[in-house]
């Protein structure tokens, strides 16, 4: 599949459907932002469950994401194709792990995660350039998620 799949093709390939964030990665403009947007309802659904479920789901999303992103990249023939947004979903869920639910946190977490994911300050840019495969696809977004989480946590704990 050395091109951008169609939504119909995603429906026939569960790995690609997950990698492309249930279709959000097909967006012509800003697929990473659309993938992060697709993470918001997932986050809201997780917040409706008992708190004990969040960490196991987050770990599953991250660990499975290494394989999902790696397999999707292999099938597409492109490392870290822009439409692969499972890593954005994982990064956003990681961003939100340490804060209580509020719409202010949802929005601020979204903005902070996108900021770190787009700007890629050190060490994110180093990882993005040097670590390959599904692990590399996931790792730079998880680092962006950790940096965004730290900023969000400090803001909510000491400033807000």
Domain boundaries, the chain: 7-159
Instruction: Tell me how far the alpha carbon of residue 153 is from its chain's centroid.
Output: 19
Query: Which residues lie closer than 8 Å to 160 by C-beta, 6 or more apart?
Result: 104
Per-residue pLDDT at 140: 97
Distance CA 145, CA 120 (A): 11
Question: What does the pLDDT average to over 106-118?
Answer: 98
What the block records as the tokens of 4 is 């951008």
pLDDT of residue 159: 84
- Rounded distance between C-alpha atoms, residue 28 and residue 107, angstroms: 23
pLDDT band at 11 (very low <50, low <70, confident <90, very high): very high
Question: What pLDDT is recorded for position 1?
Answer: 46
pTM score of the predicted model:
0.95
The predicted pLDDT at position 88 comes to 98
Report the 10 Å Cβ neighbour count for 111: 13
Mean pLDDT of the 12-27 span: 96
pLDDT band for position 18 (cuts 50, 70, 90) = very high
CA–CA gap between residue 145 and residue 85 (Å, rounded): 14
Per-residue model confidence as pLDDT tens digits over 31-67: 999 999 999 999 999 999 999 999 999 999 999 999 9
Specify the pLDDT at position 41: 98
Using the structure block, give the residue that is written with the tokens 């700007």: 119
User: Measured between alpha carbons, how far is 147 from 91 in angstroms, rounded to an integer?
Assistant: 10
Integer Cα distance of 85 and 64 in angstroms: 13
């Amino acid at each position: 599949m050395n091109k951008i799949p169609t939504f119909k093709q995603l429906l026939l390939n569960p790995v690609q459907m997950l990698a492309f964030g249930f279709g959000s990665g097909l967006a012509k403009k800003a697929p990473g932002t659309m993938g992060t947007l697709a993470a918001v309802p997932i986050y809201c659904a997780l917040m409706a469950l008992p708190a004990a479920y969040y960490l196991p789901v987050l770990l599953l999303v991250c660990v499975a994401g290494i394989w999902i992103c790696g397999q999707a990249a292999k099938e597409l023939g492109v490392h870290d194709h822009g439409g692969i947004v499972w890593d954005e979903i994982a990064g956003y869920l990681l961003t939100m792990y340490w804060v209580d639910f509020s719409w202010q946190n949802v929005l601020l977490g979204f903005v902070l995660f996108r900021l770190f994911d787009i700007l890629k300050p050190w060490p994110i840019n180093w990882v993005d350039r040097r670590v390959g495969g599904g692990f590399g696809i996931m790792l730079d977004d998880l680092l962006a998620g950790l940096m965004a989480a730290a900023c969000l946590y400090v803001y909510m704990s000491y400033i807000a």
